[in-house]
A and B are shown apart, each in its own frame.
Chain A
Amino acid sequence: MAALLSNSARVALRSGASATSKAGAAGLTFARGKATLPDLSYDYGALEPSISGKIMEIHHKNHHNTYVTSYNNTLEQLQEAQAKGDIATQIALKPAVNFHGGGHLNHTLFWENLAPKSAGGGEPPSGALSKAIDSTYGSLGEFQSKMNAALAGVQGSGWAWLVKDKQTGQIGIRTYANQDPVVGQFQPLLGIDAWEHAYYLQYQNRKAEYFSAIWDVINWKTVEKRFT
């Protein structure tokens, strides 16, 4: 528990640049539930040429951090509303919890399911996951082309995921709008960010090139762990 608290405090300091004084004061009370920006296990430039260092840096330090900050602000409001027994406000906050909390969850999973080539990025899956992909899609290549089609079909901002159905154990591809997280019946295995901010500085409107290049930096070891 002590470790958890000190970790929270450390990250609260790190992400404190954008925190308001109100958040700082309330931080003492609510520090235990605060979300924190996770460190990447690789350098910003390590996924090049699939994803540029500049994209990775802005995506992590700015976009992801904004979801963390906004989620924490929402959480504070939620806890205040809970303390007061204010049901209407709690309900009104649901979209913000979904969006900012979802943004935090999605990006956290995304960073983990990427890896530089030097750390195994792009190396095909093995074992039970590989068998599941082959039996469901015929081959890894076939799965990738279906996933790319799903990504290309996202209208607006969103994500495509390889998921596992908790009821049947089957795997499948699902797309989610905006920052809707993979929760409930499905378990997230592999997520690819189809928001424009994930690729635009490098690929502009040529998003198919991004979807094609990202397979070189997919960390299948992480996906295998999530699957089993």
Chain B
Amino acid sequence: MASQTHTLPPLPYAYDALEPVISKQIMELHHQKHHQTYINNLNAALSAQASATASNDVPTLISLQQKLRFNGGGHINHSLFWKNLTPPGTPANDIAGAPALREAIVSRWGSHEAFVKAFGAELLGLQGSGWGWLVSKGGAKGRLEIVTTKDQDPVNAPDVPVFGVDMWEHAYYLQYLNNKAGYVEGIWKIIHWAEAEKRYTAGVENPLKLISSSCKMIDDSNYVYEDGTPLLSDRHLSANDTLLGDAQVQPFGQLELDLRRIYRFRVLVLFHIQPELMKRSRRIALVLLASVSRKKREYDDIEAVDDDDANEDTDSGDEDNDASEVFEL
């Protein structure tokens, strides 16, 4: 089951692209060393969990929870963080590209400036390691709140992390030393407002959500995570999302190929869950697919991607038909 391990997501920009706000050296260490270590430790904890599950070793399962929380949280938080940053001076850094979010911020704090001030104060008040977040409570387009989470605690569903700022010393120390106020001040020059708008209006695509092994079936076609979040919630899906499947289950393996062909999705793997759910996994993917299709704009994006590399596709003309067939199943 090596395919179930998590891997380091590539940065969406070069290591030196966030300079002068965050130095290349910090970005390299932060991504290649710190983030990678969380992933390594998460994979180790998941592997230990799988063994403990197989032997029904409940004390070990319980003792693994904190490692999962810390390292899984570290993986989630950093994955979100890289994507909510953008090189300074890029259009994505213009808050004009986040009209709905800006309106919500102004209505909540009175002005953008007042929000920036409140956000900074909250972050600088954090005692020890942790993260500062702008959060949409209860889901997309919810009430905005500034929150901090300690160590690597993530923002839990249904709350949506609109953007996060890493307040661990390793995130700024080589450049700012004890002047963390300087770091917090500079971060506004690299906040990815377009990504923030997307998360605020449509929720967060969270790859780790999709590979959660804690979802359960509540009736024939509905699945929820342990916390009650619907597996098929639209906010988990976007053109960049990984869909799930299990190439080792034959029917699903075929579906995975179809999905790859049609959508260019990286289809990840996972369903090392209950055997009962394993049988259902094909159906889950189909519903996921249908859910994606409802999101017309993103569907168009996907088609645009397909058009771009149509030369690689031997039967691109059949794509729409393929999709229809899948949806009708």
Show the binding face of A for B, using Cβ within 8 Å.
58, 62-63, 66, 95, 99, 155-158, 177-179, 195-197, 200-201, 204-205
Contacts and interface: CB of A to CB of B under 8 A. Distances in A.
A63 B151 CA distance: 19
A58 B177 CA distance: 8
Nearest to A102: B127
Interface stretch (B10-18, B89-97, B165-173, B282-290): B165-173
Among B29, B70, B128, B150, residue most surrounded by chain A Cβ atoms (within 10 Å): B128
28 contacts: A58-B177, A58-B178, A63-B178, A66-B178, A95-B127, A155-B66, A155-B70, A155-B151, A155-B152, A156-B130, A156-B168, A157-B129, A157-B169, A178-B129, A195-B169, A196-B129, A196-B170, A196-B173, A197-B169, A197-B173, A197-B178, A200-B170, A200-B173, A200-B174, A201-B174, A201-B177, A205-B29, A205-B34
B150 A156 contact: yes
A201 B173 contact: yes
B169 A200 contact: yes
Given A195-B169, A204-B29, A205-B170, 19 more contacts: A58-B177, A58-B178, A62-B178, A66-B178, A155-B152, A156-B150, A156-B151, A156-B152, A157-B129, A178-B127, A178-B128, A178-B129, A179-B127, A195-B128, A196-B129, A197-B173, A201-B174, A204-B174, A205-B34
Interface string B246-271: 00000000000000000000000000
Contacts of A156: 128-130, 150-152, 168
B219 to A, nearest CB: 39
Contact of A62 (B66, B152, B177): B177
A157 B130 CA distance: 9
B279 interface: no
A177 B168 CA distance: 14
Interface string B155-199: 000000000000011100110011000000000000000000000
A199 to B, nearest CB: 10
A62 B34 CA distance: 25
Given A197-B169, A205-B29, A99 B127 contact: yes
A1 to B, nearest CB: 35
B272 interface: no
A158 B130 CA distance: 12
Contacts of B128: 156-158, 177-179, 195
B89 to A, nearest CB: 28
Contacts of B34: 205
A95 B148 CA distance: 15
Given A156-B129, A201-B173, A201-B174, A196 B29 contact: no
A156 B170 CA distance: 11
B33 to A, nearest CB: 4
A130 B70 CA distance: 36
A106 B225 CA distance: 42
B75 to A, nearest CB: 14
Among A155, A177, A205, residue most surrounded by chain B Cβ atoms (within 10 Å): A155
Interface string B8-45: 00000000000000000000010001100100000000
A197 B29 CA distance: 15
Contacts of B70: 155
A157 B180 CA distance: 15
Among A66, A95, A157, residue most surrounded by chain B Cβ atoms (within 10 Å): A157
Contacts of A195: 128, 169
Nearest to A200: B173
Among B33, B130, B151, B168, residue most surrounded by chain A Cβ atoms (within 10 Å): B151
Contacts of A155: 66, 70, 151-152
Interface string B69-85: 01000000000000000
